[in-house]
Structure 1
Amino acid sequence: MKKIKGIHALSMGIAMSLAASVAIPARAAPDKLTVVVTDEPKSLDPCDTDLSGNSRILHNNITEALVNLSPKDGSVVPSLATSWRQLDSLTWEFKLREGVTFHDGKAFDTHAVIAALKRAQDPALACEVGLATLKGLKLNAEAVNPTTLLIRTDVVEPILPNKMSALDIGSPATPGDAKTRTPAGTGPYKLEAWTPGQSVGLVAYDGYWGNKPAIPNATIIWRAESAVRAAMVDTGEAQIAYEIAPQDGTTEEDHAFPNAETSLLRIDAQIAPLNDRRVREALNLAIDRDGLVGTIFHKDAQKAMQVVPPSVFGFNPDIPVWNYDPEKAKSLVAAAKADGVPVDKEIVIYGRIGIYPNSSESLEAIQAMLADAGFNARLEMLETSPWLKRLLKPWNKDRQPSILQTQIDNAEGDAVFTLPNRFTADGNQSTIIDAGLDKLIADGSKATGDERKRLFQQAFKYIAVDAVNIAPLFHMVTIARVAKNVNYTPDVQAGNEIKLKSISYR
């Protein structure tokens, strides 16, 4: 397997510089836990948990949803709702847990859920859950009594309980006309402080309805560099560190696990020269994915052809992965140029610093591969906020042609959590406009069983093979470093959820 030059030298240099400064590990106080992640959350509003950086702090720590999804098989399990049933094709009934209170002392009841649903669907608030998971649905909720809720949909939604797992519920005192930075939820921890640029502090909520956390005080901090995050566990500054790079994750404290994320490059297919299918195909053929595995990406990462892993309902097993064929890529670029396509135009590769380990190095390698195939590509690495402006609409009509480094997670187990927002004409992250694809996705979202699977598989095939709207890279594996005295095993949901309640000291 061909290796990418420079990556091993880079990791050696980082390791040597850190080794010189590593101190004897300090033992953490038994009532305190520090977790280090890649970057600061952009929001702590309960309606913004569709972004993983927000969700990993909020979900099931500060705020909770009516239901959860099992990390073992994606099945729906109780949380703030104890049971649910479908009354007719458009109506679901949820029975709510009794005796639950929010951190501000207000009671959890049907009216709190109705308020959360209203906020999530308010276009003026632009809640991430409304723009993504609940996109295309109009939900009307009715309180039968304080613990019995009816939710009616405007279209058939066979997996509404699954979707409710994404709706975290804040106190009814949460502002209805603005986002909040001080959420009050029902979770095992309440927000103590969010110090911008530094940390988020949480403290156990004494009135929590479930099992109490073993560690009452938790602090979330962020550092961009993998080697720094790893070293913080070694020195005792943190007890858990996420997203450790392969070259750094070589100790017995490093735990590798599939994280339900698929890395890819989103192609802006509306702007020349990327509006020519031959150019988009050439871009895919120019990337040596085999050379990236085991060097820049984890050795267990799996080459992807679609944006969900095989565990997701609707995954299409019959789509072949791209082969590395730089000569064919060059010929496609030349053919497009002969037909007047402006292939010499500069294409910007937008990357996000710290989106995954070696994110910058991966794009540096891909930029070189594209240059070899005749592309004029410039790399621009962005912090999270400016990157989000490239990810989410609205975009400037006069923008440069670009490809965007991103990754899509689907721990929910159904393709509907991935397709509508990212691949329909009015999707908040979609660069494709295709009525036929819109219909496939809409029909699949309403269907059940084998018909649902068939339609979603057709949609994935169309995106990857016919439209070539993406350059898929890998179904990802990530590494978490866990201190020896800590009981914690990351699961497939760990990228979106730090399950603080489950963590304890040995």
Structure 2
Amino acid sequence: MKKMKAIGALSIGLAFLLAPGSAIRADAASDKLTVVVTDEPKSLDPCDTDLSGNSRILHNNITEALVDLSPADGSVVPSLATGWRQVDELTWEFKLRDDVTFHDGKAFDANAVVAALKRAQDPALACEVGLATLKGVKFNAEAVNPTTLLIKTDIVEPILPNKMSAVDIGSPATPNDGKSRSPAGTGPYKLAAWTPGQSVDLVAYDGYWGDKPAIKNATIIWRAESAVRAAMVATGEAQIAYEIAPQDGTTEQDHAFPNAETSLLRIDAEIPPLNDKRVREALNLSIDRDGLVGTIFHQDAQKAMQAVPPSVVGFNPDIPVWTYDPEKAKSLLTAAKADGVPVDKEIVIYGRIGIYPNSSESLEAIQAMLADAGFNARLEMLETSPWLKKLLKPWSKERQPSILQTQIDNTEGDAVFTLPNRFTTDGNQSTIADAKLDTLIADASKATGDERKKLFEEAFSYIAVDAVNIVPLFHMVTIARVAENVTYTPDVQAGNEIKLKSISYR
């Protein structure tokens, strides 16, 4: 099959790296570590950690938040805050660590958190955390004293501590008139250099308040091809490589793990012919998900029907997975065409190079499936920057009908971290405007306990059955390759966080 030939072509990069005369180094020195990822970060601003490419370098390496979430069960655990309590319905109190300093020498205290939270919500800065995690709520922080902080909200925010895990605190000297490329945080590593197009270099921070990292110097580099990333560990050019494709991850150094990501295609439901529900249903019926598992996607990937995995509060277990039925897809398109829907209009499939292993090959296969069902689909693979312009608003009103390859992570364990920004009318990534869905998500976000779970389940059911504005694919499994002399166990958060402090040499 053509798609399998494309997968095999990935081995070319491996053969090149292992060819005689290739410049390699046997092993890193014990005080140096090189990690290879898929692509360069968009930003290293502390307020942009809602994008995975930024977060994996920043979060808990350069910058830290008031709290963390346990990878074991998603529970809230201390970080820069040692304790917290709910004072009243709209107010939370946090107790902060003392004797913590930022990399630039500024003191970490309650005033620094006030400044960081205000900056994260500044619409002029368009911080990713403000547009996503903090969306829909006003968070007003007040310093009671250097180690006591009050955070007040304008509406009930029952999981406020969870949301604070996404707000990384930068130095109070961080500029407020634009994004920073030189972040100063409180983390175990400080930024040594960001060489655009090449690497990010970090060095251990001697004044770190917590346990010191075992490795002093860390370099993050990026390569688009899975085979190349895998080969860099095999040759000693890197010690850890993420997002290894199934066909490349066949050694004892390759560790597969669920990564809390859900892959899907986002349908632009506002542009004809995709504004017709029958066309959107036909897209879903056209895709042979069973045929993609174990070939292009990892054999342990689970077919998805919603944008979060089962571990997330609000996951609805009663939504049936789409079946593969190209004949029904054709009949839906025929019926829509008879009603004047322009089903023959070209639909662009926008993909992102390296978003996950075999990302291009997956869309080549899906494009062929859509063509078999009668769609006129064209594939366009994009680098990260132009892809982000398709992901995030504003968009042109004259745009082509399109579907966008993306994946959504949720390591926080609650549907509120997934739904508002992606499925409400004013969401920064949302291609749907539906007042009923807006109300469902808003009501669920304010609720607690069983009521919260029930309302989020209703929202996911509405998205899947009524709105049908996504083509859900898989709850993902990923592979990391780790050098034999390195101690590191990737966990469910590894897609968003390279836990450099936890890595050591044997």
Q: TM-score interval w.r.t. the shorter chain?
A: over 0.9
Tell me which residue corresponds to 1:381: 381
Residue 23 of structure 1: how far off its partner (Å) = 7.7
Contact preservation (8 Å) 1:4, 1:295? no
Label 1:377 to 1:42 Cα distance change in 2 as closer, same or farther (>3 A).
Answer: same
Letter in 2 for 1:396: S
Letter in 1 for 2:218: A
* Cα shift readout 1:111-153 (whole Å, capped 9, x = no counterpart): 0000001100000000000000000010111111110000000
Letter in 1 for 2:125: L
Tell me which residue corresponds to 1:394: 394
Tell me which residue corresponds to 1:298: 298
Tell me which residue corresponds to 1:234: 234
Count of residues in correspondence between the two structures: 505
* Structure 2: gaps (5+ residues): none
Alignment of 1:228-307 (within 5 A): 228-307=228-307
- Greater Cα offset, 23-32 or 435-444: 23-32
Residue 466 of structure 1: how far off its partner (Å) = 1.1
Contact preservation (8 Å) 1:267, 1:471? yes
Tell me which residue corresponds to 1:177: 177
Please give the alpha-carbon distance, in whole angstroms, between the structure 2 residues aligned to 1:133 and 1:12.
Answer: 39
Please give the alpha-carbon distance, in whole angstroms, between the structure 2 residues aligned to 1:311 and 1:289.
Answer: 22
* Cα shift readout 1:6-49 (whole Å, capped 9, x = no counterpart): 25543555555555357886021000000000000010000000
Give the SS at the match of 2:464.
helix
Please give the alpha-carbon distance, in whole angstroms, between the structure 1 residues aligned to 2:481 and 2:346.
Answer: 40
Alignment of 1:91-490 (within 5 A): 91-490=91-490
Q: Do structure 1's residue 10 and structure 2's residue 6 form an aligned pair?
A: no
Contact preservation (8 Å) 1:11, 1:247? no
Please give the alpha-carbon distance, in whole angstroms, between the structure 2 residues aligned to 1:416 and 1:233.
Answer: 37
Contact preservation (8 Å) 1:4, 1:292? no
Question: What is the TM-score of this pair, normalised by structure 2?
Answer: 0.98
Please give the alpha-carbon distance, in whole angstroms, between the structure 1 residues aligned to 2:491 and 2:418.
Answer: 20
Letter in 2 for 1:395: W
Tell me which residue corresponds to 2:80: 80
Give the SS at the match of 2:250.
coil
Q: Do structure 1's residue 41 and structure 2's residue 41 form an aligned pair?
A: yes
Please give the alpha-carbon distance, in whole angstroms, between the structure 2 residues aligned to 1:67 and 1:376.
Answer: 48
Contact preservation (8 Å) 1:121, 1:127? yes
Alignment of 1:21-32 (within 5 A): 21=20, 26-32=26-32
Residue 4 of structure 1: how far off its partner (Å) = 5.1
Please give the alpha-carbon distance, in whole angstroms, between the structure 2 residues aligned to 1:44 and 1:100.
Answer: 21
Give the alignment's Cα RMSD to 1 decimal.
Answer: 1.3
Contact preservation (8 Å) 1:23, 1:235? no
* Structure 1: gaps (5+ residues): none
Please give the alpha-carbon distance, in whole angstroms, between the structure 2 residues aligned to 1:265 and 1:391.
Answer: 11
Question: What is the TM-score of this pair, normalised by structure 1?
Answer: 0.98
Q: Do structure 1's residue 60 and structure 2's residue 97 form an aligned pair?
A: no
Contact preservation (8 Å) 2:82, 2:97? yes
Letter in 1 for 2:416: V
Label 1:218 to 1:243 Cα distance change in 2 as closer, same or farther (>3 A).
Answer: same
Please give the alpha-carbon distance, in whole angstroms, between the structure 1 residues aligned to 2:18 and 2:232.
Answer: 12
Please give the alpha-carbon distance, in whole angstroms, between the structure 1 residues aligned to 2:67 and 2:107.
Answer: 18
Please give the alpha-carbon distance, in whole angstroms, between the structure 1 residues aligned to 2:24 and 2:496.
Answer: 31
* Cα shift readout 1:166-220 (whole Å, capped 9, x = no counterpart): 0000000001121100000000000000000110000000000000000010000
Letter in 1 for 2:298: H
Contact preservation (8 Å) 1:3, 1:291? no
* Cα shift readout 1:82-134 (whole Å, capped 9, x = no counterpart): 00000000000000001100001010000000000110000000000000000
Give the SS at the match of 1:361.
helix
